[in-house]
Structure formats: C-alpha cells, structure tokens
Amino acid sequence: MGEQIILAHKVVRYREVEDGIVIIEMLDKEHRNMFSENLIKGLISCFSRVRDNSNIKVVLLTGYDNYFCSGGTKEELLKIYTGELNFNDLDFFHLALDCDVPVVSAMQGHGIGGGLVFGMYADIIVMGRESVYSANFMKYGFTPGLGATLILPERLGTSLAHEMMLSAKNYQGGELEQRGIPFKVVPRKEVFTIAMQMSKELADKPRTSLIAMKKHLTQHLRARLPETIREELKMHELTFHQPEVKSRIEELFG
C-alpha cells in the first residue's frame, strides 16, 4: 500500500505510511495544539477514517516540534465558566480508547492539562525526556475533567497522579521517568522513532487478534468512564463558576 496523505480541517494530518499503520499528526501551530475547533474536528475525522478502514492495524498519534497537545483554549474555558459549555461537550478526548485497534501515543512534545489526558488514553505511550507534562487544571482553580481522575491514576500510578492533579505542577519527562512511570521516556528527538518501532511490532500481528486483545484490556476503563465523567461534572458545578476561576483564566492566558 502506497503512502496516502490527507489534511483534515487544515490542522490534522492522516498518513497511511505502510501496511497496517496510520500516523495521525496534530499540527495546529497557531494554537499550539490546543483544543481548537479545527483540531477537534480533524481528530474526529481521522479516527472515523481509521474505523472505516479494515486494513488498519495500528494508529500512531503525535504532535509537532515541542508540542504534543495543550488542552482547552481560553474561549472554551470561559464558556464553561459561564455555563455555555461543559467539559463533556468536548466529546473527542477518548478517541484513542474507543479506537478498535491499538493506539501508540508519541508524546514528543509538551502535554498540558487536557492534552496530557488525551495522550494517556492511548494503549502504548512514549514521552520526551525534555518535554513538560502537567495536569494543570487546578492551576486555573477548577477540578480536572475529561476523565482525568480515571485515566491518570491508571497510567501513571495513583500517588503520582494525585500529586499531579492536586499540585498542578509542571514535570519534565525525565523527572517522571525517575518517579517510575511505567512506559518509555527517551530524548525528544527519539520519541517518534521509538513509537514507530513499537507500531511496527504491533502491525506484525493479526488485526482480529489486536482488536480482541485491546477490547479485553480496556473494558474496565470503558465501563468506568461514564460514571467518572458524571462525578467530574458534579465537581465542576462546585468549582468552575467561582469568580476566581475567571480571573485565573484571564491572567494565565493573558
């Protein structure tokens, strides 16, 4: 199969690079891969294309340069503050979890807030040693969303995930490596190469077996996610509409 390239909504590139492997690249440089309208629509379009292609065995998800994904935009957060929107309306964040085939997340660049959470829904994760990762929701004064309270402890371990969500601090990949996170952390320039090697190892397996195995391994997350979202939205009703939250959003984005 020759390489096929599609640019979805101008900022997400879909590439079928070899038998069974698709690369989905987030390239919204104007917004540093925040959850812009075009990025969300592009990701939904690309994962829909994966779903409809019975030849695909593996998805490799990545960003550009120093950015993997940066979370919600100022406009989105302010709309949640005023009640025009809630986090669950951004209903794309579990695309990697819902994808039938395995997803490898090449988090070569910074993963901030919802961007970190988005990457953590992948089945296999590679992070950059120099890059910054943060569950920074509380920095703005509101509690985490997008299923963060489920997926971060699952992927990073309970103690570290709780510390990250409560403190909202930035952590370099090298520090997370020292703290014992259970997946590869390598120099940023090597992340994509390592992720591609892992994708090729997966693509060597029968597609039916990969789908069956992923379904089995992720069933507990898919079962628990709806209730987690309901509980997170309850917390948002308590925490998101404080005047201090609006001030923090304006200040931190300003």
**136-161 per-position pLDDT tens digit:** 999 999 999 999 999 999 999 999 99
Q: Is 103 helix (H, G, I), strand (E, B) or coil?
A: strand
Q: Are 102 and 202 in contact (CB under 8 A)?
A: yes
Q: Is the pLDDT of residue 169 over 90?
A: yes
Catalytic entry in 94, 162, 216, 236: 236
Per the listing, tokens 């404080």 go with 242
Residues 6+ apart with CB under 8 A from 39: 9, 11, 12, 26, 28, 31, 33
Average pLDDT of every residue of the chain: 96
Q: Say what the pLDDT of residue 91 is.
A: 83
pLDDT of amino acid 2 = 56
Rounded distance between C-alpha atoms, residue 123 and residue 102, angstroms: 6
Contact 42, 33 (CB under 8 A): no
Tokens representing residue 1 in the block:
């199969």
User: Looking at residues 19-31, what average pLDDT do you find?
Assistant: 96
Q: Is 220 a catalytic residue?
A: no
CATH 3.90.226.10 fits 4-189, yes or no: yes
Average pLDDT, stretch 74-84?
Answer: 93
For the residues 120-139, what does the mean pLDDT come to?
A: 98
d(CA 232, CA 224): 12
Say whether pLDDT at 37 is over 80: yes
Structure-model confidence comparison of residues 239 and 85, the more confident one: 239
**Cα–Cα distance for residue pair 73/55, rounded to 1 Å:** 35
Q: What are phi and psi of 71, to 5 degrees?
A: 85, -160
Q: Is pTM beyond 0.85 here?
A: yes
As a whole number of angstroms, the longest Cα–Cα distance in the chain is 55
Q: Label residue 1 by pLDDT band (50, 70, 90).
A: very low
The pLDDT value recorded for residue 90 is: 77
DSSP 8-state symbol, 136: G
CA distances from 137 to 98, 142, 207, 217, 241 (A): 24, 6, 37, 28, 14
Under the banding of pLDDT at 50, 70 and 90, the label for residue 181 is: very high
Domain parsing of the chain, residue ranges: 4-189
What separation in angstroms does the CA of 231 have from each of 123, 143, 146, 222, 253? 24, 11, 11, 15, 27
pLDDT in tens, 80-109: 999 998 877 778 999 999 999 999 999 999
The whole-number average pLDDT for the span 28-40 is: 96
Return the higher-pLDDT residue of 85 and 122. Answer: 122
